[in-house]
Amino acid sequence: MVTRMLTEIFGDYPQVKVIKLLISHPHTEYTKTDIAECANISRATLYRFWDKLEKYNVVKEGRKIANSQLYSVNTESEVVKALDKFIQGLVDVEIEEQKILRESKK
């Protein structure tokens, strides 16, 4: 539901796909390849905006396994906290709309 709402508002852009993935799975660590595959975008596309994700502290480095660096969403980032608050606002609106819809059907 939440990820659908983000797409409805911001569009089906690669950046939105990546942010939806990371925020939806805050305790999961991914390689950049995993992120691209799970978000259904190419690695080249991911690399075009990866530096912005780092600049705004949306992602943080996690463990390193062999030669692969793992990343996850940075839940301490002010940007991520603001996105979480925004998402919670969307959820609240959706819940209220569902209540109104149920009441109107009675």
Say if strands 68-73 and 59-65 run parallel, antiparallel, or are unpaired: antiparallel
Q: Per-residue confidence of the chain (106 residues) as pLDDT tens digits?
A: 666 778 888 888 999 999 999 998 999 999 999 999 999 999 999 999 999 999 999 999 999 999 999 999 999 999 999 998 998 888 888 888 888 888 888 7
Q: Which CATH number fits domain 2-104: 1.10.3860.10, 3.90.700.10, 3.30.300.30, 1.10.10.10?
A: 1.10.10.10
